[in-house]
A and B are shown apart, each in its own frame.
Chain A
Amino acid sequence: MSDQGAAGPGETGTLEPWEVFRREKEGDPMRHGGSVMAPDAQLAIHYARELYGRRQESVALWVVRRADVHELEDPDLLQPPLDRSFKKPGGHVMRDKLAAARERSGQPKPKAREG
């Protein structure tokens, strides 16, 4: 946390939500921790520290104004109706299809190579 904070006192003094991400230990990814209400970045950082860091449970925090988060929540884009499982990193799940093919052909499952 910088001594100056990311910004000076808020112009309006209006409270708004800030999203807090925390890193639990070195090497971990940032994970969403929760949110705080604050009038500006400086106090948001103070409150994030109090709510998500004062028990030594975090080694780093990111504090982001919720209004600055670009949200995507469109089911046509995120949950398309057709099967697109082949686009997953693991591709099609072949195990069941392979087992059925072996059964039909009568071939046993090859042993795993030794070593």
Chain B
Amino acid sequence: MNAERTGDTANLDPTARLALGELLLSMADDEFVIGFSDSEWTGIAPLLEEDVAMSSLAQDEIGHAKALYELLAGLLDDGHDADAIAYDREPPDYRHCRLLDHPRGDWADTIARRFLYDTADAVRLEAVASASWAPLAELVGKIRREERYHVMHVGAWLERLALAGGEARVRLEDALERLAPDAATVFAPLRDEAALVAGGILAAPMNDLEARWRTMIGPTFERLRLTPPPPATEPERGRLDHTAAFEWLHSEFTSVRRLDPAATW
């Protein structure tokens, strides 16, 4: 049952409030990490126009992360602003999913990762689009309008690599073999997510969302004769235990901030 939609969190019980914080952090960290990963293509994408497109997508994701971190900062109200949440944690404290822990890899890795993530993210966004907490519902309404284009863009590329045959097809299959086993970690269960469902913030448990996602991407994988993602191993640890590849990325994206954390930009 949905509570009345409001920007006030006072009507959330403490468990739901904590769970909302976990949800915001996981969504923001996902967008932040994939945004930074994709920004690594700036200057070296396969063609100039794609370079601009991928850089623009990366900026969109970091923009979404910023807005989500700001919501979280407002919710926690503990003196940490969005930048502090984004940059001042150690690698083990990030809550992005294991799918985004892989190194950038080649173009096929990037397309495979983006396709798996963007389609899963679309299902997750739909599930919070009617959240009883108005600030989240409003923000997600805007984010979904941009993410629609992201799914179109990466879908066009997945199709090209899959149908091109030869090296492109082989590289795509290799990339999916590496990444697809971790794809479902986007839906790794959140602590106390039952409270989010009961509180009208999340439309359904993550398990149900994963099933919706599989139904959504199934026809694409079948049409392109690709193997659909297997279930994730240890889903309960799907947002923990980050890799050396992420530690490297973390050292990159915190490098300027670490020079002078108190600097005003």
Contacts and interface: CB of A to CB of B under 8 A. Distances in A.
B151 to A, nearest CB: 9
B159 A38 contact: no
A95 to B, nearest CB: 50
B71 to A, nearest CB: 23
A43 B53 CA distance: 10
Interface of B: 47-50, 52-53, 56, 149, 152-153, 156, 159-160, 163-164
Nearest to B168: A13
A41 to B, nearest CB: 11
B113 to A, nearest CB: 18
Interface stretch (A48-56, A66-74, A77-85): A48-56
Given A47-B52, A47-B53, 9 more contacts: A8-B159, A9-B156, A9-B164, A38-B49, A43-B49, A50-B52, A50-B53, A50-B56, A51-B52
B159 A46 contact: no
Contacts of A38: 49
Shortest beta-carbon contacts, A-B, top 6? A47-B49, A50-B53, A9-B160, A50-B52, A36-B49, A50-B56
Q: How large is the interface on A (under 10, 10 to 19, 20 to 34, 35 or more residues)?
A: 10 to 19
A13 B47 CA distance: 12
A9 B153 contact: no
A13 B159 CA distance: 13
A5 B47 CA distance: 20
A60 interface: no
20 contacts: A5-B156, A8-B159, A9-B156, A9-B159, A9-B164, A13-B160, A15-B47, A37-B47, A37-B48, A43-B49, A43-B156, A46-B53, A46-B152, A46-B156, A47-B52, A49-B149, A50-B52, A51-B49, A51-B52, A54-B56
